[in-house]
Structure 1
Amino acid sequence: MSKDVFVFVEQRDNTIQKVGIELLGKARELADALNQDVVAMLLGSDVKSKADILIKHGADKVILVEDERLKEYTTEPYAKAINEIVKKYDPEIAIYGATSIGRDLAPRLAARIHTGLTADCTGLEIDEESKNLMMTRPAFGGNLMATILCEDFRPQMATVRPGVMQALDTDESRKGEIIEEKIEFTDADVNVTVKEILKLESKKKDITEANILVSGGRGVGGPEGFQPLEKLANALGAEISSSRAAVDAGWVEKDRQVGQTGKTVRPELYFAMGISGAIQHLAGMEDSDLIIAINKNADSPIFEVADLGVVGDVNAIVPKLAAAIEREKAIKAEIN
């Protein structure tokens, strides 16, 4: 009988990725609703020391597979290892991050295991009556939200966008079990050889990791409208993000987009500058701790979720705000 909520936890360069910790938080909630355990799946080479981190963030058990061939992600070895784990332990639910790795791995596993997969989920809940997993994702270009069930096959599988789920705080008192599994790989399983890894160094932080975001929309008027936003971001130590309208217009790179068809963010402070607040955008940022919105249209939906709203011209207000913050920083520097 299928049992437990399994989470594939990504590691890169032996560093646990944040999305895995976020998924453990949601898995803990799902498992508690089912009165089952949370089981983390950790693959890599020399990663055993990381297993305790997963237990402290909600896992009851960690299934550990260590092999030199798993040091860097390649499709076939990882797919074989997870496939064997799933067949042996028969989980009720298995969730993966909707990252480049998760989007490559999860569909292959769904085909091998013969089960369904709901991709790019923004919500996971247990149905109180059937105890099935309700998997919610954007549909029709983000204009609708669809809730999908996998009633007849197990495990119920989903990929979840980074930044959507809330990670649990570290609990140093938690204890768990580490189960070491050995997968017998053959030469046929290693059909890709990684010869070199080139890393792109970027000064820009991923917007899902930022504590403060200054986000611009159609209301800034054009690419030049982002220049004052960048000055404000620099003054605050923040990152620039945007609505879909600014990305579609070519004013900002795609990886800066917030919303259903972009990234889900949860910063401590979110500035919505010249953003009307369409539901697709709100879905990606409404859980921010503090939302400050500036828009010249007093009826903009963004004001319904904003903690502080300013009705006015963003291009007139932002430069003054940036200058005021710079002055305040200079005064504090003199005092110190």
Structure 2
Amino acid sequence: MAILVLAEHDNASLKLETAKTVAAANALPGDVHVLVVGHQAQAAAEAAKSLSGVTKVILLDDAAYDAQLAENVSKAVLDIASDYDYILATATTTGKDVLPRVSALLDVAQISEVVEVVSEDTFVRPVYAGNAMATVQSHDAKKVMTVRASAFDAVANDGNAELVTLSSVIEASTKFVSQELTESERPELSSAGVIVSGGRGMGSGENFAILEQLADKLGAAVGASRAAVDAGFVPNDMQVGQTGKIVAPELYIAVGISGAIQHLAGMKDSKVIVAINKDPEAPIFQVADYGLEADLFKVLPELIEKL
């Protein structure tokens, strides 16, 4: 048996999510191969070579793959799919865009958001916004799966896999026009060890500056609830929750967040949760390891000063 993991990368470097998806792949029987599709992505491929448990890295490098459009990446995966029993990708916007196309082209059912590998054909995935876990069994000859990276620990960098370069190029019928990225020196939400998030209780986008000061002190990423995003306080790429980013940092500080189910689904696997809210009945306190019932505008300046 063989397993193919689609690498998550930005061409220049490999993302931590790939190491976590490889951890899920290592729980399956067979050799683990990593596919890196991109342009000038040699560094990402070299990083993938060192992932523990990986025996081969396949690099498909061409200008046609610079934007990693799902239309041509999915067909690139399909081009080598006959050699694999499992095809895995991280449950990010990229993985959720590419793998449904792969499963449709292979005419198999996709297994989404896997959080545990029970056996070679049985997996656990969340349903009802994470309020229940479903154990599913697949009898498909090829199993196409997205993996919730927050449920797995990243593998070590002690491997030395073989690197193979492919030359086949599949041009997409769609065209990449442009993208707008939020630039920040802070860690990415999906890989940060500490996250400070704000909710509607922040009152305005300007007040998120207080959270940013706290985040800078802690070396943390800044997130937000859907309510804060919908209110226009911050851009939607900061959203944590079922319809945003799924995170599981070592420390999650929820400030002015009530704790709606949609938000809890995206952060309840955090190792330590601290909640700051002036409403003692806020649902966030039910999942918090530490709770502080207080006015955030009084508490945060004091906390920042003492750090």
Query: Shared fold by TM > 0.5?
Result: yes
Alpha carbons 2:250, 2:272 under 8 Å: kept: yes
TM-score between both structures, scaled by the size of structure 2: 0.81
- Residues 138 and 245 from structure 1, CA distance in 2 versus in 1: closer, same or farther, beyond 3 angstroms? farther
Alpha carbons 1:43, 1:70 under 8 Å: kept: no
TM-score between both structures, scaled by the size of structure 1: 0.75
Q: Give the match for residue 332 of structure 1.
A: none
Q: CA deviation at 1:98?
A: 3.3
Q: Is residue 2:126 matched to residue 1:133?
A: no
Q: Give the match for residue 330 of structure 1.
A: none
Alpha carbons 1:116, 1:150 under 8 Å: kept: no
Please list every run of at least 4 consecutive aligned residues from structure 1 whose deviation after the TM superposition is greater than 6 angstroms: 193-199
Alpha carbons 1:259, 1:284 under 8 Å: kept: yes
Amino acid of the structure 2 residue aligned with 1:80: K
Q: Distance in 2 between matches of 1:288 and 1:146?
A: 17
Amino acid of the structure 2 residue aligned with 1:284: G
Q: Give the match for residue 263 of structure 1.
A: 245
Q: Is residue 2:122 matched to residue 1:116?
A: no
Q: Distance in 1 between matches of 2:255 and 2:182?
A: 28
Q: Give the match for residue 3 of structure 2.
A: 5
Q: Give the match for residue 241 of structure 1.
A: 223
Alpha carbons 1:81, 1:183 under 8 Å: kept: no
Q: Deviations over 1:78-102 (max 9, x none)?
A: 3333112111x131x2111234433
State the Cα RMSD in Å: 3.3
Which residue of 21, 45, 48 corresponds with 1:23? 21
Q: Distance in 2 between matches of 1:245 and 1:200?
A: 22
Q: CA deviation at 1:9?
A: 1.0
Q: Distance in 2 between matches of 1:68 and 1:94?
A: 22
Q: Give the match for residue 250 of structure 1.
A: 232
Q: CA deviation at 1:8?
A: 0.8
> Which structure 1 residue ranges, 5 or more long, are not aligned?
326-336
Which residue of 202, 207, 228 corresponds with 2:183? 202
| Structure 1 residues 1-336: aligned runs within 5 Å | 3-28=1-26, 30-31=27-28, 35-44=29-38, 47=41, 50-51=44-45, 53-69=47-63, 71-72=65-66, 73-87=68-82, 89-91=83-85, 93-119=86-112, 121=113, 123-127=115-119, 131-139=120-128, 142=129, 145=132, 147=134, 149=136, 151-161=138-148, 163-171=150-158, 174-178=159-163, 180=164, 182=166, 184-185=168-169, 189-191=170-172, 200=181, 202-203=183-184, 205=186, 206-223=188-205, 225-325=207-307
Q: Distance in 2 between matches of 1:314 and 1:49?
A: 43
Q: Distance in 2 between matches of 1:126 and 1:143?
A: 18
- Residues 74 and 236 from structure 1, CA distance in 2 versus in 1: closer, same or farther, beyond 3 angstroms? closer
Alpha carbons 2:256, 2:277 under 8 Å: kept: yes
- Residues 254 and 37 from structure 1, CA distance in 2 versus in 1: closer, same or farther, beyond 3 angstroms? same
- Residues 63 and 271 from structure 1, CA distance in 2 versus in 1: closer, same or farther, beyond 3 angstroms? closer
In the alignment of these two chains, the number of paired residues is 305
Amino acid of the structure 1 residue aligned with 2:56: V
Q: Distance in 2 between matches of 1:283 and 1:198?
A: 28
SS in 2 for 1:13: coil
Q: Deviations over 1:15-53 (max 9, x none)?
A: 22332222112222x22xxx4332222334565665453
Q: CA deviation at 1:153?
A: 1.8
Amino acid of the structure 2 residue aligned with 1:78: V
Q: Deviations over 1:265-320 (max 9, x none)?
A: 23343211122334443332234344322223445443344343222222322222
Rg larger in structure: 1
Alpha carbons 1:70, 1:78 under 8 Å: kept: no
Alpha carbons 2:17, 2:191 under 8 Å: kept: no
Q: Distance in 2 between matches of 1:16 and 1:196?
A: 24
> Which structure 2 residue ranges, 5 or more long, are not aligned?
none
Q: Distance in 2 between matches of 1:57 and 1:270?
A: 27
Alpha carbons 1:213, 1:269 under 8 Å: kept: yes
Q: Distance in 2 between matches of 1:310 and 1:199?
A: 37
Q: CA deviation at 1:115?
A: 0.9
